[in-house]
Chains A and B, each alone.
Chain A
Amino acid sequence: MDWFDSGWGLSLIVFLPLVGALLIGLIPRSNEESIKQLSLVTTLVVAALSVVAAFRFDYGSSAAFQLDTTLSWIPSIGSNYHIGIDGISLPLLVLSAVVTVLSVIYSWNHWDEPRNPKAFLILILILEAGMNGTFVALDLVLFFIFFELVLLPMYFMIGIWGDKTPMVVKLGSYQLTTETRLYASIKFFLFTLFGSAFMLLAFLALSFEGGTFDIPALIDMGASGAFTGTFARLVFAGMFLGFAVKVPMWPLHTWLPDAHTAAPTVGSVLLAAILLKLGSYGFIRIAIPILPEEARAWAPVIAILAAIGIIYGSLACLAQTDMKRLIAFSSVGHMGFVMLGIASMTEVGINASIIGMVAHGIITGLLFFLAGSMHHRYHTRDMAQLGGNMKLLPKIGGILGFTAMASLGLPGLAGFWGEFWSLIGAYNPLSGLDVNLFRGTMVAGAIGTVLTAGYMLWMLQRVNLGEPSAKWEGHEMHDADRFELAAWAPLLVATVAIGIYPRIITGSTNDAVVALVARAFGG
């Protein structure tokens, strides 16, 4: 397995999807079965490789970058093809590879208009390359390219397969008539591009100052205090904009409810499960270790924005009538917990953020699958018209109930630990940070859990319980089919498994996080 460990394994995980996409491009559009089979095989192989990577990984030294390689790539600017994973990126990489397979399985017989499986599956595969690449990249240029690569497929997914309801943008006397999907896709694209422009500037500035794009090298420099003063402040600000839009943090979040609601089911799933994590991962991988002093200075800002996001997102959820939009807004709150953990700059808090990312990926991904499947059957997402789902679709209803409980942070399921540990981190933040301020954000977070319980239970009451409306009488309702169950079962199992034994994640992350905090803040 030497070939695997010396970089080929990770390279395959990143580029095999592109090879698959290319091959699918050669198959005629009419040959749908072959297209589906090939994309399934490709994503399955990639997922299997990511599992192999997890087994080849040496957890005894999870702080070190492993299975790595460095090849000269663009010598003129000093950028190398440097990839590798440590205990922090491993769980996210596996999550990304597995959720992509499940998306392909789910897609098997669930197509949003205008259908076209060929184009859709090609986009999924390109998306996967971008996501996997971001998690293994150890060079800023490489990271940036992968980070941006995910934009295009998602933009097309939303813009083409998205919600075709007409909408009007009103600004005083100005009116723009468009479609939800067009508005949402452009908003998503421009918003993210806006953030990443600043991020790119920050990366360039870093390399001018540090003389390299290599992330581990920059981390070493950062830890020894190479970047300080106004320079560091501006660089951090640039990165902050890039990552915070992606997370998204309040008030840069408004692309999210629109994009999520308009996106086709699989698009929402991948957006929630993986894409949002690219932002929070960027904070942990790049911003904090390279600019520790700036991270410390920005921590209160991040904590306050996170706390606002938690409360704001939860309150916004309470006002929603559209089930999918409610789930979308819940991400604002949940990612608030992830960012609160990061803001504490403590070992507990950063561990919390990573397990929180994984849990949110699994649980919210599942919620979007369910919302999509329900929309498929009811042709509405308006909760006032739903109701009695447990009677009409008992399997889907039961899984929805379970997942909603997981989402509200029920102990014993995956979502609990991230929230709980975030609160612990915020209670005792890194020394030097304002304890009272952080305890205030902790209380806000704890109140957020109450509001979360409120909107989730309320959603269940409106959607799942009660007698079905007379409207659905005579409609033949098909409960979850085998493709849906196959796509959801692994997520359900993971929700329980991580809830009972969170070491599945922390066993990988903890040593790496301890080393990160020690290097950045002199542990």
Chain B
Amino acid sequence: MPAIRLADRLLAEWVRRREEAAGHPQDCSEADAAGIRAGGDLAARIVERARALPGSDARLALIRRLLRAARVLAGLCVVVAGLAGAAAASSALSASTPASLPLVLLVVVSFNLLTLLLWLVLQPLSDRMPPGLGALLDRLSLAYARRIAGGGDADTASLLRTLSDGGLGRWYAAAVVHAAWLAFAVGAALALALLLSVRAYALSWETTLLDDAALTTWARVFSICPALFGIAGAETLPVTEANAARQGWSLWLLAASVVYGVLPRALALAASLFMLWRSQRALAGDLSRPGFARLRARLLPDHAELGTVDPAPPAPVPTAARAAPPAVLQGRVHGLSLEGDAGEASPVLPGVDWVWLGSVDDATSRAAVLHQLRDDTVDALAICVRATLTPDRGIERFVAELASAARAPTTLLLDGLDRLRARGEAAFAQRIDDWRQLAQRCGVAILHA
């Protein structure tokens, strides 16, 4: 899968910020479809969706404009710093005759090294730094970005926040500063190399304040690093009579400007670029962000509807409801429990003299009861049934068969109402109504305590 471009990642982050602030993802089925079409993992789909949202072209153009401006700014810094380095080196070299090695070193290397050390020291403290130069630069660059973005609305502000957030702004600033100092050091080293190659300079290690012994010590200290690269320094070259070995010292000067100026900055730049690259990769990559995670169901669905594979038959023609006959539960009443427990006793009802047929469940007991009802003289029939039972077609058919076999007033007696009521009032009312309709269709009375 090709790497996602920075502008696209920024766009996806920008969209997430907007959607999280709104509280819900923007509904745009075309964009969702584009994300699904893109395939790949969720991160790739999120980016593709962001690109397909309405208005994204303009936003992407704005992001590209800002990124271009950032690159131009960085380039400008590098060029100016490079020229400054060359100018500083040549003026330090020409400042006095003979040219002072400590002065050249001071100009070419020391500020560079000092600011680098300061930067290193402040890294762990960056969160609790008082607002200083960095914050001022930050504010200036934000103002600059705002001017390029051409507006101070909330949407643009959220883009600028995206740009400066998550280490992106911090490592971009670090990389630009390091690149500028690197350009300064390279410019200085090149200028030194050029001038020392084409002009004759007298070189000296002289100072006003330090005596010879101290100067020698300093020269030896500064020679340690170049010596690591095999460049001869104060150990072998004369310090007090430096001009006598000016070829050796000029080579040493070049090496020192590279070792103390170019190398550390190159390392710091590499580290900052790596961190910047990591911050860029982290954009639109943290799927535990709620704004991204919410898109999972839309862009990487875990199920898909297959629709109807076998359509419903035409709705049954409702049977004309017969007038519900009155419940007859007096005197001699045949009774049975439909789908009740085996050996279930008859309910106790005042004034009822039960002919109890027991519990009826399977096909055999059903056939036996129908047979008995047809043979007996039945004055009235009561069918006890649990109200929690779902009144289905099978029950309806059997109740109708029982009523017609009995040829007598039949009553459906609902019990277990407490259990039904425990499922909620709405469920209770619904189920009672379903039973009533079933009773009506079968032409039997219904009674529930």
A and B assemble together: no
